[in-house]
Structure formats: structure tokens, C-alpha cells
Amino acid sequence: MTTFVRHTPAAGLDALLTRAGSGDEQAFATLHDRGAATVHGLVLRALRDPEVTEEVTRTVWVRVWHRSGQYTPDQGSALAWVMALAQRTVVERIRSTPREAAYARTESAPTRSVSVEPDPDSPLPIATRRRAVLRAYYRGCTSEQISTVLGVPHRTVATMIHSERMHLRAHLRLVDHDVPGRATAAADAQGW
């Protein structure tokens, strides 16, 4: 039997991040306690190296502390803001490593999709769409480069990446807003 922990409303996290931006160390500590596992999971999934993951995760939280004053709730949820900062930090780290290591990480990643139900309108397999998104966001490839590597027309790649980004945005909204009767992402179990 699976037990889901009800997450704190997004407004609570927004308030914590806003207070951290004002120098409230206790609010930052609470935000960190609630989000550390989620951020760590994102970084580990992208980097696939526990030692590097620890270093990058620490960098993310230092950046959250230093940049939290730039956050305003009308820009989006605290979860989205922190995860975007984490993703940008991961991309910086991957770009700073040799291309062969980054390529091996991308190609060896499991081929699971964000959604359990593939988009029935997509002419491309889930694995191809996933590779395109990973190349775009974790390797920093342009849609032209991805098109060349995957052998898919440029416009198809651009549309596919946009579509998958919108799908992920909708998925994050489900996490941010408590939808009754719906199991959300692993973030629920972490108190996000």
C-alpha cells in the first residue's frame, strides 16, 4: 500500500522563499528541509554521479540563499523557481565538463517519460522525444543540433521540445496545486 504525504500549500513555500529573501535564516532552513531531497533527486538524475551531485546540490542551495531576494510569488511558485535554479546550475556543471562525459550521461539515461501516458498525437517514440529534451536542457544543444543528431526535421524537434516543456509545466502545476484524488510527483512525499 502506497501512502502519500499531503504537501504544504504552495503559498507556504512562497512565503518561506520570500522571507528567506529578506534574510530570515529560519525560513531558509525550513525551505531547505522541505526541498533538499527534491533538489538532490533532480541533480542526481541529471548528473548520475553521487559525489558531483552533492557538490552541485550545495551550490544550488547557496544560490537559492543569495538570489532569494529576487523571487516574487507572482513570477510562479517557489517550487518552480528553486527547481529552475537547480536545472540551470546542473546545465552549467554539465557544460563545464568534457563533452564525452556529458554525452555518455545523456545516452545512458533510462528512457522513462514524465507522463505514464505517451502523447498519442506524437509521431516519434517516447525515447526519441526524451533524448531531444535531455539534449536541449542538459547539454545545451540547439534544435538544429538535435535535428542533425536524431535525424528528425528541425521544425519537428522545435515543436516537440515546446510540447514536452508545456507537458512538464502542466505536471508541475499539478504538484503545486493540491488536486484531490490525484497522486502527484515524488515531490509530495518530500513535503513540497
The reply to whether 18 falls in a domain is yes
CATH code, domain carrying 32: 1.10.1740.10
Place of cell 545523456: 106
In whole angstroms, what is the distance from residue 58 CA to residue 40 CA? 9
- Fill in the amino acid letter for 50: P
Residue 53 corresponds to which cell in the numbers above?
551531485
Domain count, the chain: 2
Residue 99 has what pLDDT?
A: 56
The reply to whether 191 falls in a domain is no
Question: What is the DSSP track for 110-153?
Answer: ----SSSS--TT-SS-HHHHHHHHHHHHHS---HHHHHHHHT--
Q: Which domain covers residue 171, as residue numbers?
A: 98-179
Residue 118 has what pLDDT?
A: 47
**51-96 residue pLDDT tens:** 899 999 999 999 999 999 999 888 889 999 999 999 999 989 888 8
CATH code, domain carrying 122: 1.10.10
